Amino acid sequence: MTVGPLNDILVLDLSRALAGPIAAMMLGDLGARVIKVEAPGTGDDSRTWGPPFVGPADDPQSSYFMSANRNKESIVLDLKSEHGKDALRRLIRRADVLIENLRPGAFDRLGFAADVLEELNPRLITLSITGFGHDGPEGSRAGYDQIAQGEAGLMSVTGDPDGEPTRIGVPIADVLAGVHGATGVSAALASREKTGKGMVVRTSLLAAAISAHTFQGTKWTVGEQVAQRSGNHHPQIAPYGSFRCADGYVQIAVGSEAIWAKFAPVAGLSAQDPRFAVNRDRVAAREALIAAIEADFAGRPRVDVLAALEAAGVPAGSIRTIDEVYEWEQTRSQGLLLEVEHPVVGPVQLPGPSLRMETADGASLVRTAHAAPPVLGQHTEQILDWLDSVDATDPLDAMVPARA
């Protein structure tokens, strides 16, 4: 039995690419058994995304696929065949959660409309993730992260003020849709404990991206101001951003007047300077403030500036490259780097889960051992054998035929 609060939950992951797989992976991190259902020959689209690919030249493995598919088993089913549909029906009868991110109506056309799923398993929770929502005038559009970032306004507030609208450097709409989806599934599982009934949980890349607007959204909905790009500086707090030193940049977050009083002397400024007296003044005089800070920092090495800021109690940091992040001891101390044994590649390191759950005495309540992302169809025979076994020992009413 896998350790975790969801260790008695079976999840069927019929999703591809990123948002759905991330939701399924999060549930797997919390102990659920996750069976990834993939098409024969190709499997998940992201198996072909790269470079980089790793492993032997005749069996290259996508590092992109590995980012969203740890702690899963892979079964290959042709859902256009009756044999594949029968196997999926048998899995659905046993499952707690089903995740799909097809275009609206596509799963219905395969023969698995909501009423069919309810008949097969009234306790089933279905997570359905789309690009732009399940209805509305543009609900049928295909969903890809960068398109969603643009349509949802994120690119319009990202980048330099004089530059182009810029894509966020990670697929943030996909990631957030997965996180919201997993949250919705967790709530639905809690609800099922009370009602005994399943439900459909819905989210989209559009909804997830708009959920990230926070103050940029209310800047318009409440303040009737359209947010603009502000580069590496916060549009409503100052000083809050990145500043040049002699050998690089430091990041500073002066989020209160108390912190400003600590910060000003470090940058050679007076906290009582009338130009910068309170945050409203500092935002209005942002360019002059940045110039004054960088004039002081220009002759000082980054390490010295960071040491002075830390001594003064000012929140600050550096800008790390991705490799530096994974070499950082703080990252490793938080379980954010895992080593797993991949069946083709051998030992590989993966980014780890963001949640930790512990008892009062510090004992972990979630996985401490993780499984590598599966190769295509790695567990097909094992899963079908398991189905045969449980169907024989624990038959369900109206069970579909066993495999031939």
Would you name the residues annotated as active-site residues?
Answer: 174
Q: Which two tokens stand for residue 266?
A: 């470090």
- Calculate the CA 149 to chain-centre distance: 14
Instruction: Identify whether the C-beta of residue 308 lies closer than 8 Å to the C-beta of residue 336.
Output: no
Pairing of strands 125-130, 97-100: parallel
Side chain identity at residue 115, one-letter code:
D
Region of 328 (left: φ > 0; alpha: ψ -120 to 50; beta: rest) is beta
Side chain identity at residue 378, one-letter code:
Q
For 207-244, give one letter per residue: b (16+ CB within 10 A) or e.
bbbbbbbeebeebeeeeeeebebbeebbbebbbbbbbe
Helices within 58-171 (DSSP H only): 63-66, 82-94, 106-109, 114-120, 145-151
Pairing of strands 97-100, 10-13: parallel
* 232 contacts: CB under 8 Å, gap ≥ 6: 241, 242
Q: Which helix (H) or strand (E) holds 287?
A: helix 286-297
- Calculate the CA 398 to chain-centre distance: 38
Q: Write the CA distances from 259 to 97, 110, 295, 314, integer angstroms.
A: 47, 59, 20, 6
Cα(254)–Cα(399) distance, integer angstroms: 62
Instruction: Identify whether the C-beta of residue 222 lies closer than 8 Å to the C-beta of residue 216.
Output: no
DSSP-based three-state secondary structure for 232: coil
